[in-house]
Amino acid sequence: MVRRRILVVDDSVVIRKLLCEILSQDHELEVVGSASDGRIALSKILQLKPDLVTLDIEMPVMDGLETLKELRKLYPKLPVIMFSTLTERGATATLDALSLGASDYATKPSNTGSPAVAIAAIRTELIPKIKALCPSISPKLKTLPPPYPAVRIRPQSKGPVEIVAIGTSTGGPNALAEVLPRIPQDLPVAIVVVQHMPPIFTRLLADRLASQSNISVSEGSAGVTLTPGQAWIAPGNFHMTVARAGLHYRLDLNQNPPEHSCRPAVDPLFRSVAEVFRANVLGVVMTGMGSDGVLGAQHIREAGGEVIIQDEASSVVWGMPGLVYAAGQADAVYPLDQLAAEITRRVLQSRSRRVSATTTNHYAAMEPGVK
């Protein structure tokens, strides 16, 4: 078996040693070298030809963002995982790195008080991401050429879409930055989003998306009433769900156990919108590793709603959307650059059907000759 070759870049001797030891313990991975700053890292990439680079953000000589910019010029397709601190500064730099082309990120364990806990945290978060980004380790789902057919022909829902629920993970921040800014300000429904991210990161992501979008984008908070033309991002370390509150709908947050090792997770949100809105849901599953969203998509479709997914070619990792497709729970598949238009079209078209049906019923009920 050919092992994936990893280059570890970090200015801390302790972190470099720890990462090299942890990664080398996995029989599918091989650490081929390490570097203490970006300039050394760029020279070693040329020599060692790694399959993936882990890249620290704060380094002397050439920091992570400067290194990433140069790396992307020379190696546009080389997977890069940023290794950042769970702080506001670290989260901001990580989002900058993702916008510059980083494939994903992992957070450094902090204040664990136990080397064993720190090792377990790195192993649990970092290694699966490395394998997801190196296709020869984790076999990809069978590639299907576009256009993708609908999984199962179903009668089109006659009810209007009343809410859009989006789930995403690896590659999600950039995917959301492609979709939400293209949603029109007057969209007549609310949008609820789960992006797998820790605290601080989700708030900064919401702020960043808000600055780029016509619709309002906020981090979700308990008790907030859903309003049309606004999107809410589930906060890190909380599951976000939707509940009915009289004539309105509100957001609820909870810290129930993680699902698919994630909190927030997509499935709890999808289950809640299916229960509350029934057939009037449009679910969207975008790029991400793992299977979160598959069972939730099933709940939405069983309630009569629709689910669309991002295609493989435009996904950083076709795990979540690919498994929804493989499970037969996708109504249609679209490239990332078409998702915003398709979301808008489905929402508006479903609501125009309602207006048309209401008008028809009104005239049908009139006395003959009355106009």
Pairwise CA distance, residues 287 & 292, whole Å: 11
Contact residues for 185 (Cβ-Cβ < 8 A; gap 6+): 214, 215, 229
- In one-letter notation, the amino acid at residue 95 is L
* Shared-domain flag, residues 125 and 177: no
DSSP H or E segment with residue 232: strand 230-233
Pairwise CA distance, residues 168 & 196, whole Å: 7
* Shared-domain flag, residues 67 and 15: yes
Q: Which residue, among 89, 91, 272, 115, has the nearest Cα to 199 in the 3D structure?
A: 91
pLDDT score at 365: 46
Reported residue count of the chain is 371
In a domain, 349, yes or no: yes
Cβ-contact 296, 167 below 8 angstroms: yes
31-41, pLDDT tens digit by residue? 999 999 999 99
Pairwise CA distance, residues 150 & 333, whole Å: 8
Residue 37, CA distances (Å) to 16, 52, 54, 96 in order: 11, 16, 12, 19
Residue that is last in its domain, among 84, 111, 133 = 133
Cβ-contact 86, 237 below 8 angstroms: no
* Shared-domain flag, residues 189 and 325: yes
Annotated catalytic residue, options 10, 56, 104, 292: 292
In a domain, 115, yes or no: yes
In a domain, 366, yes or no: no
pLDDT score at 371: 37
CB atoms within 10 A of CB 46: 9
- Domain holding 309, by residue range, is 163-356
In a domain, 369, yes or no: no
169 flagged as catalytic: yes
In a domain, 183, yes or no: yes
196 flagged as catalytic: yes
Pairwise CA distance, residues 215 & 235, whole Å: 19
* Shared-domain flag, residues 96 and 205: no
Annotated catalytic residue, options 34, 169, 213, 314: 169
362 flagged as catalytic: no
Q: What DSSP letter does each residue of 39-56 carry, written as one string?
A: HHHHHHHHHH--SEEEEE
Tell me the average pLDDT across 309-331.
96
Confidence of residue 122 (pLDDT cuts 50, 70, 90): confident
In a domain, 363, yes or no: no
* Shared-domain flag, residues 333 and 277: yes
Place of tokens 């709908």: 249
* Shared-domain flag, residues 105 and 202: no
147-175, pLDDT tens digit by residue? 555 555 566 556 899 999 999 999 999 99
Annotated catalytic residue, options 196, 239, 260, 299: 196
Confidence of residue 319 (pLDDT cuts 50, 70, 90): very high
Confidence of residue 370 (pLDDT cuts 50, 70, 90): very low
208-227, pLDDT tens digit by residue? 999 999 999 999 999 999 99
% of the chain surpassing 70 pLDDT: 87
Cβ-contact 217, 209 below 8 angstroms: yes
pLDDT score at 260: 96
Residue that is last in its domain, among 93, 115, 133 = 133
Place of tokens 């808008």: 344
* Shared-domain flag, residues 36 and 170: no
Mean pLDDT of the chain: 90
% of the chain surpassing 90 pLDDT: 80
Confidence of residue 238 (pLDDT cuts 50, 70, 90): very high
* Shared-domain flag, residues 266 and 333: yes
Domain count, the chain: 2
pLDDT score at 153: 54
Q: Which residue, among 346, 259, 354, 253, has the nearest Cα to 305 in the 3D structure?
A: 346
Tell me the average pLDDT across 344-361.
71
pLDDT score at 139: 46
* Shared-domain flag, residues 115 and 222: no
Place of tokens 């479709």: 301
In a domain, 141, yes or no: no
CB atoms within 10 A of CB 27: 8
